[in-house]
Amino acid sequence: MAAGAGHAERVSNDEFRAALSRLAAGVVLVTAREASLDPDDPQAPVGEDVGMTATAFMSVSLDPPLVLVSLREGSRMDDLLAEQPLWAVSVLTESQRHIAGRFAMKGRISDRLLFEDIPYARGRVTGAPLVGGALATLECRTEQRVTAGDHTLVIGHVLTAEVPSAEGRPLAYFRGRYRQLG
Ligand SMILES: Cc1cc2nc3c(=O)[nH]c(=O)nc-3n(C[C@H](O)[C@H](O)[C@H](O)COP(=O)(O)O)c2cc1C
């Protein structure tokens, strides 16, 4: 038995949140298209686009190229990616803070209106929305899903990677607030 075992301290939610809020993070928008309403008919209209603001996103491996996003179990994006293996990530700029805000709202039923005034292109491989003017965009296919506590770690193979706005500045999140660098 490891030293200290049996005297396990239990960290409180507040302690956990306070400590992790000190880890400055970039902000991304994860997007995916709901699967075709009729899986037997490739011409059938697809469902709506879904987006979710996330900071728990990271690079995992270069060869093969893998990334990871951690999704709260039961969130709309977690439910969608359980069915839809194709998804995308847009790395947001400091001028895209309003996009991060709207795609973090809890309990919303539809994202259709949220995408209406955002310039985006469809990923050529995934069909998922890629935010216009994002710092970087990645299209991914899920390679592995790992349940971790109350989240699902979704590991994606990167299919395309582009830097549409190479000169842009990042949107960051630190101590519970959006920040700009510098
Ligand atoms: C700055 C910021 C970062 C977030 N990062 C994540 C994340 O990495 N993973 C996650 O599951 N939710 C994250 N969220 C919460 C989701 O954006 C939010 O729960 C979701 O959009 C609401 O949809 P839901 O009702 O389906 O949960 C974050 C929210 C904010 C404001």
- Give the neighbor-by-neighbor strand order of the sheet with 177-180: 25-26, 171-174, 177-180
pLDDT in tens, 43-90: 666 789 999 999 999 999 999 999 999 999 999 999 999 999 999 999
Residue-range domain boundaries for the chain: 13-174
Q: Give residue 38 CA to ligand 1 midpoint distance, Å.
A: 29
Q: Does domain 13-174 have CATH number 1.10.3720.10?
A: no
pLDDT band at 182; cut points 50, 70, 90: confident
**Calpha distance 165→182 (Å, rounded):** 18
Cβ atoms of 125 and 86 within 8 Å: the answer is yes
Query: Of 3-12, 103-112, 131-140, 156-165, which gets the smallest average pLDDT?
Result: 3-12
Q: For residue 109, what pLDDT is reported?
A: 83
Residues within 6 Å of ligand 1 by CB: 27, 52-56, 70-72, 75-76, 103-104, 106-107, 173
